Chains A and B, each alone.
Chain A
Amino acid sequence: MAVAFSEKTKERFKAILAKYPEKGAALLPAMWLAQKEFSVITPEVEEYVAKLLGVPLVRVHEVLTFYTMYAAKPLGKYHLQLCTNISCTLLGAEDILEHLKDKLQIGAGETTPDKKFTLSTVECLGYCGTAPVLQVNDDFHENLTTKKVDELLAKLK
């Protein structure tokens, strides 16, 4: 089945396009829309976005591989993004990472077999003041300890 935006997304896409002097500049928000709509940016989606904006396919792929926020592989229900940048690492992100790996029995960049959790390591999330920090889908969890992680995971159904 060929991928295509829903009518509603098409409207939003149009509104986004209007903000940019040239179409190609809307690549990031367009890919973001695509990710929301299709949940994963497959090669078909890349091609769709490239055509939509009239940009070369490799450019879409450059952006897809550059940012951790875009998903080239299907994500689990909960996307756990752990910051491993300097501040978080200084305050124990490495332990948290090991703990998460242990608990979920997956490595960074992997998804649990029940498709519930995807674990990623990411660069600075901008919450250095309350490091270490974990982003679960759109929510932030700060001042983490392994105990807090356990409580958090227990709540995610």
Chain B
Amino acid sequence: MPTLTIDDQQVTVDQGTTILEAAKKLGIAIPHFCYHPRLTKVDACRMCLVEVKDAPKLVTSCSNAVRDNMVVFTGTPKVEEARKSILEFILINHPLDCPICDKAGECTLQDYYFRYSSQPSRFKDNKVEKHKVVDLGAKMVLDSERCVVCGRCVRFCREVVGEENLGIFNRGDHSEIGTYPGKKIEHNYQGNLVDVCPVGALTAKDFRFKCRSWLLCKADTICPGCSNGCNAVVHFTLRSFNGIKGQRVFRLTPRENNDVNKIWLCDVGRWGYSFVDSIDRLTTPALKKGEDFVKGDWDTALRETASGLKTVVERYGPSAVGVIPSPHLTNEDLYALKCLFSCVLKVANIDFKLPGLDKGEGDKLLLKADRHPNTRGAELLGLSGTGLSAEAMMEKVKTGEIRALYLAGSDPVKYIGEKAEEALSRAELLIFQGTNFSASCKLAHVILPGATFVEKEGTFTNYQGRLQKINKALEPLGEALADWEIFTRLGKRLGAYPSYRCAEEVFKDMAREVAPFNGLSYQKIGPQGIKIADSSQ
């Protein structure tokens, strides 16, 4: 393994490592545009030039591999001068519209300019005019004048998605990114183009002009869009800006995890967050009165729920109760649910497997057909196969053998349709606990508002059996509560139930009681998750 010196520090790296990557190991950031750790190296922008002892000229650090005993300098006057010149060239035709550019604040061109150039333009002629607001695809927009022609977007489509649909047309300072005339980008990974673009040339339609990047807070999370469990960062705010009332979550961006999503997110997941602040969020407990729902408080709603369940169990036995949890819930939520129904109430009819749950449309890259983040977790917690199947429960509700049905985030009407609708409307007691209004919720007698994935702490187990953690970024909307907390409050009213104060306490119990979780703690899970089981078949 070669050992080299970069700015007077020694580092040993694998054969074939580039100077830029070796420097990164030492915490030395070399500016670059065309280089991207997950794309081929093309040596196009020259921003990454460094000085190598005894080399006749500056070399591009992104593409030149290190050699043993190499001596590299990344900040000599010669290097500084080169950077300044490159930036001056790039900025000749740049519109400099940072004040209205969505990338401002996280744009490397802006950062490098202030860091390495900071000089007024010497260019006196007219700038080359190019296409603005080019509708490249359903999810993003191109501003050619801002483009530095690094080609990362072109390579992303070709190398990662495997569709060669972007190209660089024309020549020299007239070069422009584009699709073949009349065609659009249609793949499910358009958001990543916005991420790989180092400048504001590609911006997301969903985010354009909505919020300045520096006003957003960030928290690590897991995309709840499917069972892949892509690592993500949620960008949110506690206030609302620009008259976008009530919007707290503004976007999801990928977080690197080589074992799960590399450094990408699919569009389905990235833009699936809108339910968090949407108009149909359930924000207060509610009770059905005649045809309508009336707002209630937690005390009343929980009292109704507890006494209803108790009555059914006492009169007809636990087999008259059915529970359908959703694999959207965290392991903590599901474990708390299991404690309540199977330990306290002795209910065996618990099944999360609604038919068709895993029949979405997946793709080859990340997106899975199962659009639930915690199906594997629900399996590992044994929330299926202990009693009647979810489908069979519908039948029994219809015949009156099941009198009380508890829907924890699940929406049987969505998956089973009319048959479920008929069954649910016949239930003697139908409890719906969840985040948003739905066809099943509509038929409920009691509505208990739950927290979304950004409003609670917990863990998901992805399809590979990898346990990963989500964090509470925001308070639950209105009076909503984390699902584990709802079960804890209910448990208190129904018998001997642990008084959990936080998700971590639930996790601790689960880590003691459920085999695959044995010995684990939030600390052990870490930011990259931990594999606790095999993938499901």
Q: Which residue numbers of A lie inside 8 Å of B, CB to CB?
A: 43, 56-59, 61-62, 65-67
Contacts and interface: CB of A to CB of B under 8 A. Distances in A.
Interface stretch (B167-175, B307-315, B322-330, B439-447): B167-175
Q: Which of A43, A58, A59, A61 has the most CB of B within 10 A?
A: A58
Contacts of B168: 62
A61 B164 contact: no
A142 to B, nearest CB: 25
A58 B180 CA distance: 5
Which 10 residue pairs across A and B have the least CB separation, nearest first? Answer: A58-B167, A56-B164, A65-B169, A62-B167, A65-B170, A58-B180, A66-B171, A57-B180, A61-B180, A58-B164
Contacts of A57: 180
Nearest to B170: A65
Interface residues of B, number: 11
A59 B167 contact: yes
A139 B270 CA distance: 58
A49 to B, nearest CB: 13
B181 interface: yes
A58 B179 contact: yes
Contact of B164 (A59, A66, A67): A59
B117 interface: no
A67 B164 CA distance: 21
B170 A61 contact: no
Contacts of A62: 167-169
Contacts of A61: 167, 169, 180-181
B51 to A, nearest CB: 31
A67 B170 CA distance: 8
Contacts of A65: 169-171
Contacts of A43: 181
B151 to A, nearest CB: 11
Contacts of A66: 169-171
19 contacts: A43-B181, A56-B164, A56-B165, A57-B180, A58-B164, A58-B165, A58-B166, A58-B167, A58-B179, A59-B164, A59-B167, A61-B180, A61-B181, A62-B167, A62-B168, A62-B169, A66-B169, A66-B171, A67-B171
Given A56-B165, A58-B164, A58-B179, 12 more contacts: A58-B167, A61-B167, A61-B169, A61-B180, A61-B181, A62-B168, A62-B169, A65-B170, A65-B171, A66-B169, A66-B170, A66-B171
Q: Which of A43, A57, A59 has the most CB of B within 10 A?
A: A57
